[in-house]
Amino acid sequence: MFQKGDYIEQVSIDCVILGFHNKQLKVLLPKLKALNIWTLPGGFIRQTDSLEEAALRILADRTAIRDIYLEQFMVFGSLERSSPKLMKSLEEIHKESIAEAGLVEADFAWLQRRFISIGYYALVDIHKVVPLCSELDETCEWYDINELPPLAFDHADIVTKAIEHIRLMLNHKLIGFNLLPETFTMKEVQDLYETILDRPFRRNNFQKMILDLDILERLEKKFTGAANKAPFLYRFKKMS
């Protein structure tokens, strides 16, 4: 049971467990007992837990999944994300075990406050994990990411952001490119990359790598007496 004092207040952790198999991507979602609503496997940070220990414990407690690599990807902290009504329903549904534990309503008032939530994800092989339910949950199953059941709080948004994050990480993320002027030389791009990555590139390899991304457009050289010595200028292709 979640007792005030044991936990950092107003902070939760939610885990997006994505399963990959046979060209499909699914997400693991517990369904809350006695409610027609699903959530991400989530929970709170004990005062004695490091953040990472908390995330692994929460995942193990809600799904019995252990020994997987969880990666933090984003913190969710809008003012509207909490749902005191749902927290109240949960208290009502679990009132017997709350009474058995000798707790009273006041012990749970902290759960009605605003929470910010730290999102973690994992990408796993569906066939290598066997999810189980916690006492809060009726089922704990895989859902196709394009056919999610109704999710509590902002959890649908957290799933979307986790997937976006993984996609970005697989692609080149061109951070830094906002530092270039509207038109620029290949050398300027290479300088930027070399500085941020703190490693040299061979000129030809670098040029090939960047052009392969297919995001740059080479501009016509203006006619000048020394045209053949001036470097080409590039700009970003217009995205349609």
Cα angle 138, 142, 143 (rounded to 5 degrees) comes to 105
DSSP state of 64: -
According to the binding rule CB under 8 A, does residue 35 interact with a copy of itself? no
According to the binding rule CB under 8 A, does residue 232 interact with a copy of itself? no
According to the binding rule CB under 8 A, does residue 202 interact with a copy of itself? no
According to the binding rule CB under 8 A, does residue 197 interact with a copy of itself? yes
Closest contact distance (angstroms) between CB of 58 and a copy of itself is 13
- Paired tokens of 219: 């501009």
- Span of 94-102, 149-157, 173-181, 229-237 interacting with a copy of itself by CB under 8 A: 173-181
Count of Cβ atoms closer than 10 Å to residue 39 Cβ: 21
Q: How far apart are CA 17 and CA 38, in angstroms?
A: 14
Q: Which of 3, 50, 97, 139 binds a copy of itself (CB under 8 A)?
A: 50
- Paired tokens of 68: 């997987």
Q: Which of 166, 201, 215, 235 binds a copy of itself (CB under 8 A)?
A: 166
C-alpha pair distances (Å), 86 with each of 75, 140, 168: 21, 19, 33
Closest contact distance (angstroms) between CB of 184 and a copy of itself is 13
Q: Which of 1, 109, 132, 169 binds a copy of itself (CB under 8 A)?
A: 169
According to the binding rule CB under 8 A, does residue 25 interact with a copy of itself? yes
Count of Cβ atoms closer than 10 Å to residue 129 Cβ: 18
Q: Is 89 helix (H, G, I), strand (E, B) or coil?
A: helix
What phi, psi does 148 have (nearest 5°)?
-75, 145
Q: Is 49 helix (H, G, I), strand (E, B) or coil?
A: coil
Q: Which of 1, 77, 97, 138 binds a copy of itself (CB under 8 A)?
A: 77
- In the stretch 105-144, what mask flags binding to a copy of itself with x, by CB under 8 A? ---------x-x-x----xxx-------------------
Instruction: Single out the residue of 21, 2, 23 nearest to residue 13, CA to CA.
Output: 2
According to the binding rule CB under 8 A, does residue 65 interact with a copy of itself? no
Chain contacts with a copy of itself (rule: CB under 8 A): 8-11, 20, 23-25, 45, 47-52, 54, 69, 72, 74-79, 114, 116, 118, 123-125, 166-176, 178-179, 191-198, 208-209, 212
